Chain A
Amino acid sequence: RKEVEQDPGPFNVPEGATVAFNCTYSNSASQSFFWYRQDCRKEPKLLMSVYSSGNEDGRFTAQLNRASQYISLLIRDSKLSDSATYLCVVTYNQGGKLIFGQGTELSVKP
C-alpha cells in the first residue's frame, strides 16, 4: 500500500461545479499536510496548508481527519483556470522526508 494515496482522476467537471478530492495517508506519525497545485509538468506550487481545525482560502477549503487519516480539498465554483493536477503532501516532525501523493487531475470545462 502506498504511504500517501490519491484518486488520480481525471475529474472532468463543468465551470461552476463543486469538486472534492481526498488523500489518505498510512503513517499515523504524519504531522504536517499540504495541498500543492501543478500545471502541466511545471513546478508544483503551494496551494494551502492543512490544519486540524480546517482552513479556507476563498473558494478552496482544506480539512484534516486524523482519526481516519485523510485530508480533503474542496473547490467551489470551479473556474477554467483551476484545471491542474492537485498533489497532497505529508511530512513528519523532526525529519526532512516529504511524501507526495501521485496527484489528482482536474479538468474544468466550459
Chain B
Amino acid sequence: EAQVTQNPRYLITVTGKKLTVTCSQNMNHEYMSWYRQDPGLGLRQIYYSMNVEVTDKGDVPEGYKVSRKEKRNFPLILESPSPNQTSLYFCASSLSEWLAPFEQYFGPGTRLTVT
C-alpha cells in the first residue's frame, strides 16, 4: 500500500530534550516536506527537500533540522524543543513536475507536546 508513515504518532516531552520524528514514504517520491499545524494559523511549511541531499527552508524553520540521506526518509529533528513547538506535525511527499511539487501525500500526523 502506498503510504507515508510517521513515528511517533504522539509524543510528550520536556523542554531541551532532543527528539526526532521519523517520516518514510514508499512511493519513490522525489519531494518531501514537513509542516506544522496550529489553531488559527493553518499549515505552515517547516522544511522541504526536492531530492536526496537537497533541503531548503520553508516559512518556519527556526528550531528544526532535517536531513535527506535516502530518498524514502526525511526525519525532523528538534535539537532543543521548547513549548512553542507544541503542535501537530505532518510529513508529506510528492512527485515533482518542472522542479515543483505536485499532489502532496500526507502522513497521519504527529502530535507533539513540549512541557
CA–CA, A34 to B104, complex, Å? Answer: 10
Number of residues from A at the complex interface, CB < 8 A: 26
B98: chain A residues at CB < 8 Å are 93-94
CB distance from A5 to the nearest CB of B (A): 10
Q: What per-residue 1/0 map shows which CB atoms of A28-40 lie under 8 Å from chain B?
A: 0001101010000
B54 to chain A, nearest CB (A): 9
**Size bin of chain B's contact surface:** 20 to 34
Q: Are B100 and A102 in contact (CB under 8 A)?
A: no
- A1 lies within 8 A of chain B by Cβ: no
B4, closest chain A residue (CB)? A43
**Least Cβ–Cβ distance between A59 and chain B, in angstroms:** 20
Choice from A43, A45, A93, A101 contacting B100 with Cβ under 8 Å: A93
Considering the complex of A and B, which 3 residue pairs feature the smallest CB-CB distances, nearest first?
A102-B42, A43-B106, A100-B43
**Which residues of A line the B interface, CB within 8 A?**
31-32, 34, 36, 41-46, 49, 87, 89, 91-103
Other 15 A-B pairs with CB < 8 A, given A43-B108, A102-B42: A43-B90, A87-B43, A89-B104, A91-B101, A92-B100, A93-B98, A93-B99, A94-B99, A96-B48, A96-B56, A96-B101, A98-B33, A98-B58, A99-B59, A102-B40
